[in-house]
Structure 1
Amino acid sequence: MNKYMVLLSKGYEETEALLVVTYLRRAGIDVDTISTMDTLETLGDHDIMIRADKKWDEINLDDYAGIITPGGVTGSETLAADQRVTKAIKAFHDAGKLVASICASPIVLHAAGIAKDIEGVCYPGMEEAVGFKKAHEEIVFFDQNVLTSRGPLTAPFFALKLIEIIKGEDARNDVAGQILLPRVQEALVGMAQGKCACGTTEGGESCCCGHHEHAEGGCCGHHDHAEGCGCGHHDHAEGCGCGHHGDKKEGGCCGHHHH
């Protein structure tokens, strides 16, 4: 009973479904994609065909420790109308098993009769349709044994929280490092502080980010680049990206003379 299922119905959001499966498998978590349709072949909301691991009628619910539902309005409505799914979600919730829904799919929690008893989040504007006991604004929210999240771009955080719940914080941090989350977060913080995408202020012409007038540090993070440098700037001073100082002789990192 250490397996988890991701449900695929007609019109699910492919990003939310596959990203969750990918991240959980990176963490060594046993997860099956389950088609609620009559065939293993399922069609997502953006016409991407995905072959599920199993069909609903082929599984034993007792083999699974959790149910995960991706969003997509059509897919979520299809799941919400499927009594096999809603009965299973209610049974999992009552048994203390993990239930996780993202984007529009918390409407399935409403159809299962459990949304009114939990606090959570969903795609903005769907709060009334879901009917949480209390709706929140966070990108992920965990209450009792139910994890919810808001949409496609919050799916990585949804998946990482699932890993943390199932395997612990170390496993979560390991996968976060694999997907470069710390670096992305650092870049986003820098951009919020007025730095360009390469982590510096006032990008220079031909800078890696394509902006003008680098103040401190060019695309390689140093001052006053020389003409012909790999980053296309002039006047390399001490600490070129190639690790050399002052004037550089023939055959530097960028193959030009006199840095």
Structure 2
Amino acid sequence: MAQQLNGKRVAILATNGFEESELSSPRAALQSQGVEVHVITPDGNGIRAWAETDWGDTYEADKRLEDVHHAEYHGLVLPGGLFNPDTLRLNEKALGFVRAFFEAGKPVAAICHAPWILINAGVVEGRRMTSVPSVAQDLKNAGAHWSDEPVVVDSGLVTSRTPVDLDAFNGKLLEELAEGRHRHQHA
């Protein structure tokens, strides 16, 4: 699979309060396959992780949201955590960036509470998805078909529940990225 992924570029959009493993694990999985990964933050500054029960490490940003365009990337990863998606779902630039990946048919992977961002971006109606259980009703109310599974894939949209599902999440993220654009991925 590494040959199929060599030369690809993926954006990880996050801000303070992301679940540490939900950024570090997908980033490592992507990089191990030759994918160039950029951590993108709203202001271009480093962001502080939430590590299960307390604040974790600070991660440097590679780019500022205002300075990037979806056309520079082959896919998008949205880590969860509680604070991170709650902040990003109110950021119009972040929502526009996310929406553009769907409009272009590019793979998007969201885990834990990150589907909140997708709800506010208006891209979940009719999609098969999973998430942390506390977001299930929000997804259903937004028109998604929620199921309690480690990973759900729907035409380039990869969703998972929690860090315990990261192996499945990362595997499907790599698979969808290798497949490229998805005709049925839509906003």
- Residue 58 of structure 1 deviates from its aligned partner by 2.4
**Cα distance between partner residues in 2 of 1:33 and 1:138:** 27
Segments ≥4 residues shifted beyond 3 Å: none
Q: Counterpart amino acid of 2:166?
A: A
Q: Does 1:62 align with 2:68?
A: no
Greater Cα radius of gyration, structure 1 or 2: 1
**Cα distance between partner residues in 1 of 2:96 and 2:41:** 16
**Cα distance between partner residues in 2 of 1:77 and 1:125:** 13
Structure 1 gaps, min length 5: 169-259
Q: Counterpart amino acid of 1:87?
A: G
Instruction: Decide whether the 8 Å contact of 2:152 with 2:158 is kept in 1.
Output: yes
Q: Does 1:2 align with 2:13?
A: no
Structure 2 gaps, min length 5: 1-6, 180-187
**Cα distance between partner residues in 1 of 2:63 and 2:96:** 19
The two structures have a TM-score, normalised by structure 1, of 0.61
Q: Does 1:166 align with 2:156?
A: no
**Cα distance between partner residues in 2 of 1:43 and 1:125:** 23
Cα gap change, 1:90 to 1:117, in 2 (>3 Å): farther
Per-residue CA deviations over 1:168-222 (Å, capped at 9, x if unaligned) read 7xxxxxxxxxxxxxxxxxxxxxxxxxxxxxxxxxxxxxxxxxxxxxxxxxxxxxx
Q: Does 1:89 align with 2:98?
A: yes
Aligned residues: 167
Instruction: Decide whether the 8 Å contact of 1:8 with 1:52 is kept in 2.
Output: no
- Equivalent position SS for 2:125: helix
Q: Point out the structure with the larger strand share.
A: 2
**Cα distance between partner residues in 1 of 2:160 and 2:45:** 27
RMSD, aligned α-carbons: 1.6
- Residue 146 of structure 1 deviates from its aligned partner by 0.9
Q: Which residue, 129, 153, 172 being the options, matches 2:164?
A: 153
Q: Point out the structure with the larger helix share.
A: 2
- Equivalent position SS for 1:162: helix
Q: Counterpart amino acid of 2:75?
A: G
Per-residue CA deviations over 1:135-171 (Å, capped at 9, x if unaligned) read 1121001112211000111112211111122237xxx
- Residue 130 of structure 1 deviates from its aligned partner by 2.5
Identical columns (%): 27
Match of 2:37 in 1: 31
Q: Does 1:40 align with 2:49?
A: no
* Bigger RCO of structures 1 and 2 (CA < 8 A, at least 6 apart): 2
Match of 1:176 in 2: none
